[in-house]
Amino acid sequence: MISLIVNGERHKVDADPDMPLLWVLRDHLGLDGTKYGCGEGVCGACTILVDGEAMRSCTLPVGELAGRAITTIQGLDSAIGKALFAAWAEVDVPQCGYCQPGQILSAAALLRHTPKPSDTDIDTAMDGNLCRCGTYARIRAAIHLAAGRLATGPLGGGK
């Protein structure tokens, strides 16, 4: 049994320690917001946060994650997450939507470390998160919008 902390809840899973976290999330815990894309960690569809850092769940052996805080798209309930969800909707980022959970989680990790990102910061942080629909300009705009709102707070008077 492997003990995991996923979206703030403790879980014990009976899985091979070498099984990729992606399959534990989807098949053992029913958290299917984390998507399978390439299985090699290069497309970003399976991005999750581990201790606040964006990582590819398709290449992470579950046995190496015991006791670490794992956040999926279903658990992104922070101020940053709420700002990103609102900005994503306002800018109308999604088309097919398949890559969006990974995109949003990568953006959340960026804003956690860089509250006022430049275009270069965004491009660097989002590199490797592929969008087959090509919504990269809207993704960048949504990240800027979320960052601006986080800087001024909900009523424009600070956090």
Domain-wise residue ranges, the chain = 2-75, 79-156
Q: Are strands 47-50 and 69-71 parallel, antiparallel or unpaired?
A: antiparallel
In this prediction, residue 159 carries a pLDDT of 41
Low-confidence residues of the chain, pLDDT below 50? 155-159
Is the entire prediction scored with pTM above 0.75? yes
- What is the predicted pLDDT for the residue at 101? 96
Q: What is the pairing mode between strands 69-71 and 53-56? A: unpaired
| Order of strands, sheet of 53-56, starting from the edge strand that comes earlier in the sequence | 9-13, 2-6, 69-71, 47-50, 53-56
pLDDT for 5: 97
What's the helix, strand, coil split of the chain in %, to 5?
45, 15, 40
* Confidence (pLDDT) at 22: 98
What's the CATH number for 2-75? 3.10.20.30
Tell me what pLDDT residue 154 has: 58
The domain over range 79-156 is classified in CATH as 1.10.287.10: no
Radius of gyration of the CA atoms of the chain, in A: 16
To 10 degrees, what angle do helices 100-113 and 119-126 make?
130
CA atoms within 13 A on the CB side of 48: 32
The pLDDT score that the predictor gives to residue 9 is 97
- Please tell me the predicted confidence (pLDDT) of residue 158: 44
Report pLDDT for 126.
97
**pLDDT for position 156:** 44
Q: Tokens 């629909």 correspond to what residue?
A: 133
